[in-house]
A = this chain, B = another copy of it.
Amino acid sequence: MFPLVLAILITMAVVAMPHPVLSHPLDPLSPLELTAATSAVLASPLLHGHGRPVSFHYVGLDEPDKPDVVSRRHRAAAHALLLPRRAFVIARAGGASHELRVDVTDTAAPSVVSHGVHRGPGFPMFTTEEQVAASAVAGRYPPLAESVRRRGLAMGDVGCGVFSMGWFGDSGDGDGEAATRLAKMQCFVTGGGATANFYARPLEGVTMVVDLERMAIVGFRDRAVYAVPKADGTDYRAGKAGPPFNGAVPAAGVVVQPEGKGFHIDGHVVRWANWEFHVGFDMRAGTVISAASVRDADAGAWRRVLSRGFVSEVFVPYMDPEEEWYFHTFMDAGEYGLGVSAVPLQPGADCPPSGAGYMDAYYASADGSPVRSGNAICVFERYAGDVAWRHTEVAGPDAPVTEVRPDVTLVVRMVATVGNYDYTFDWEFKTSGSIKTVVSLSGILEMKATNYTHVSQIRSADDAHGTLVAENTVGVYHDHFVTYHLDLDIDGTNNSFVKNTIVPRRNSGVPATGGAPTPRRSYWTVLREVAETEAQGQVDVVNGAPAELLFVNPSKKTKIGNEVGYRLDPGGATAASLLADDDYPQRRAGYTKKQVWVTPYNKSEKWASGLYADRSTGDDNLAAWSKRNRRIKDEDIVVWYTVGLHHIPYQEDFPVMPTLSAAFELRPANFFERNPLIRAAPPRSSPNCSCSPGS
């Protein structure tokens, strides 16, 4: 939820800069390109007069125009090199957010090609460096030292982190029109070596406000003193929980691939089975999947499916309106950065012990130097014991027939640890043509210190705003809304959104009135509705008639005449926001009341919470853009799908949470002429796969 940066957050390895081989126009910026971009900005006269120092809050690939990328597949490799490489930079200087585009095609001579200053509300992501600096400033702030002393603690045992403060109108925060880049700070008992789990030991009651530009504490309140929960039982490190261990240990197991991996990574392009796609990286989004095409074996052709997919925002509002908690309404991507929060994946733990491939990622630090995030992404084949399809036939002249195909899938994984929470983001590709996304939540709850040590002390009139998960410790109610940006290009650029509503019908029993002359009284059928405009593209998948969400290419049909398409199959995590429409956090994340939004492709509309999410006011987010109610029928459309979870904590979530996963799946729906797995040979690893003679 929030990164509490107390010490050195990451190793700022300024990497060596090998001469790059430019292989794909969607490749993330290389260290050389990052340096070229930030150097050009620092050297530019455009920022002169805006004050120094310049700090870099975002540096990412300014993607080529979509038609250029799409057509590239059909051009010679030499031509591809002609596509310009550009960086998009957001830098703070002189109290303003500067937007710059820098041409880094020639990294030896980068040039700033555009410059603008952001005038509206909202700020870019925090930098790691300013969070470290703020933490140091708090540690020297006398009123905090006094509060710590009053609680019988030593200042050296307390650490504070930067919490985004959201936006709550012109009043209430003492911040006028949010022109100043402020954040709140809260503290924890970190020291004494008692536990690594300082989230379980909040210094409840104390809130500070930090001015991140002046790097000074500008607000302080010590509202009330609460017991600091004890450290005992909070540590999750194996070295502290054991040995001896008395819990269950499953058998050791490892997947062996006798013929090696089935996938190939060529730069950032991954090829596996019937899939080809590009894996990019962005310091805000983390993993970016692009240009995913599936091989149609019957047609002998590659066909486009997903032009670009990434996590656009993770909105996490807490449900406690009190002083220290009301502003806990985090936008993990827009405020802290999922890519920046990527952790090095551990072979054998985060990814299988063998057979996985790893990718490093790079982003820019506040001073513009490149940061290497090692093993940020892994790719592996998943052997989960599932079955891709099967049938046993006991009838007919050829009986018995048993045909079973074990399922193997390909997973692209990244883990972002945003403070207490660990999000594992998976993109899973299936030979059936499906793309499944999974987000798995683990890590540590945000906990509130309380004087309660037993549930019986909580009067029924009180609302603890959470569950007592340990003595003096409430796990606070909250939501997770993970919004995916899915630029579908189903077999081509222009697509339509079809809502297939399942509606009950009455059988009159009388053929003259369209009925069937049988005693059956009811059935259901499917009403096909093509969304014309954005307003029709918004769907609440829970409330309302059951429906299938279909995305079709209206100009491509199967041989028997069905429009080729994919459908989005929501998993179980379909919670929508329950906040009031007029509440500030809801205005900032207004899109969280519908799971589905469909918009026409617009290069600038990448971030559901707006380009400037920190302290945003909701004037530049998905819900705001969509008010224009643009046409989405037979257009290049983008689907925004939000995975939602209401999280009521339980004691099992303490001191660290067992994984809770949420998924959705894009499944081919009349995309292929028939099940594409039919023409696939059974895996060679399954000599007993029960294939009929001839296989």
Contact = CB atoms under 8 A, between A and B. Distances in A.
A517 to B, nearest CB: 7
Given A322-B518, A652-B675, A692-B238, A394 B3 contact: yes
Contacts of A675: 652-658
B656 A502 contact: no
A584 B521 CA distance: 8
A431 B247 contact: yes
Interface centre among A10, A321, A352, A646 (most CB of B within 10 A): A321
Interface string A234-261: 0011111111011111111111111111
Interface centre among A246, A548, A579 (most CB of B within 10 A): A246
Nearest to A569: B572
B422 A518 contact: no
Contact of A256 (B253, B403, B405): B253
A647 to B, nearest CB: 10
B248 A680 contact: yes
B172 A422 contact: no
Contacts of A390: 349-350, 415, 422, 424, 442-443, 659
Interface residues on A, range: 35 or more
A520 B323 CA distance: 9
6 contacts: A7-B394, A238-B681, A245-B680, A253-B355, A346-B402, A562-B650
Interface stretch (A81-89, A139-147, A523-531): A523-531
A554 interface: no
A439 B258 CA distance: 31
A216 interface: no
A397 B193 contact: yes
A390 B656 CA distance: 8
B652 A672 contact: yes
A376 interface: no
A513 interface: no
A651 interface: yes
A433 B319 CA distance: 28
A516 interface: yes
A273 B245 contact: no
Contacts of A502: 578, 646, 648
Contacts of A9: 394-395
Of A236, A569, A583, most buried by chain B (CB within 10 Å of CB) is: A236
A656 B394 contact: no
Given A257-B253, A346-B690, A694-B239, A546 B646 contact: yes
A453 B351 CA distance: 48
A615 B525 CA distance: 25
Given A355-B253, A572-B572, A668-B650, A349 B523 contact: no
A464 to B, nearest CB: 9
A463 interface: yes
B172 A580 contact: no
Interface string A493-532: 0000000101111110000000111111111111000000
A520 to B, nearest CB: 4
A420 B476 CA distance: 49
A222 interface: no
Interface stretch (A66-74, A283-291, A377-385, A632-640): A377-385
Interface string A404-446: 1111111100010100001010000001111000001011100
A55 interface: no
B648 A319 contact: no
A319 B525 contact: yes
A87 to B, nearest CB: 26
